[in-house]
C-alpha cells in the first residue's frame, strides 16, 4: 500500500468493518511509523444496528476520522413496513436478512413507519435523514436497484428531524451482538 501512496496511485486510505480496538491499533501504527493514516471508516450503521456508537464512533472522533456507514437502510428493511418483506426480490433472495431477526427490528421499523406517515414522507427518507443527522457520519453508502428508489432516498436531504423525533426513532433500540466484522 505504501508503494501505491508513494507513486500517487492512491491519495487516501480507509478501513472497513473492524472492531474499534483494531482500528485504534492500525491508526496508531500508521502514525507512529510515519505512514499514511486512515481518513475514513466504512462501518455497519443504521437505526436497526447502532453498535458502532459504543466504541467505534468515539475512536473515530479521537483520530478525526470520518464515518461512511454501509447499509444505512438496513438492507432495505427500513424502507418498508413490517410484513412487506416477502413481496420484495430482496425479501425472497437475501440470505443475510436473517441477521436482522430480533425483537428490535420490528419495533424500530414501526416507529419509522409511524413518523414517515406523520411527516408525509417515505420510510427511506426518515431512515436516511436520521443517519444524516448524526454528527459522526460523513456520508452514507447507498445502494439501490432503481432510479426511483435513488430519487426517493435523495429526498431525505430535504427532511429535517427534530430532537424529539430522533429520540422517538431511537427509543426502542436495544444493544445487539456485533455484526458485520470479519
**Parallel, antiparallel or unpaired: strands 13-16 and 38-42:** parallel
What does the alpha-carbon distance between residue 146 and residue 127 come to, in Å, rounded to a whole number? 18
> 10 Å Cβ neighbour count for 104?
17
Tell me the per-residue pLDDT of 87-137, one tens digit each, with 9 for 90 and over.
655 554 455 555 656 688 889 999 999 999 999 999 999 999 999 999 999
| Domain architecture of the chain: domains with CATH | 12-171 (3.20.20.100)
pTM equals: 0.86
Tell me the per-residue pLDDT of 168-178, one tens digit each, with 9 for 90 and over.
999 999 987 77
Amino acid at each position: 500500500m505504501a508503494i501505491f501512496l508513494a507513486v500517487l496511485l492512491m491519495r487516501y486510505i480507509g478501513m472497513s468493518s473492524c472492531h474499534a480496538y483494531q482500528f485504534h491499533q492500525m491508526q496508531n501504527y500508521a502514525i507512529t511509523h510515519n505512514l499514511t493514516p486512515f481518513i475514513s471508516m466504512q462501518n455497519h450503521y443504521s437505526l436497526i444496528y447502532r453498535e458502532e456508537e459504543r466504541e467505534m464512533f468515539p475512536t473515530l472522533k479521537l483520530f478525526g476520522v470520518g464515518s461512511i456507514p454501509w447499509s444505512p437502510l438496513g438492507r432495505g428493511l427500513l424502507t418498508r413496513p413490517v410484513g412487506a418483506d416477502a413481496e420484495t426480490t430482496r425479501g425472497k433472495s437475501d440470505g443475510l436478512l436473517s441477521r436482522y431477526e430480533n425483537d428490535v427490528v420490528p419495533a424500530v421499523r414501526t416507529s419509522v413507519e409511524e413518523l414517515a406517515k406523520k411527516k408525509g414522507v417515505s420510510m427511506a427518507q426518515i431512515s436516511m435523514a436520521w443517519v444524516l443527522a448524526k454528527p459522526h457520519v460523513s456520508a452514507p453508502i447507498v445502494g439501490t436497484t432503481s432510479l426511483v428508489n435513488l430519487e426517493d432516498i435523495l429526498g431525505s436531504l430535504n427532511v429535517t428531524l427534530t430532537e424529539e423525533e430522533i429520540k422517538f426513532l431511537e427509543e426502542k433500540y436495544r444493544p445487539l451482538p456485533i455484526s458485520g466484522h470479519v
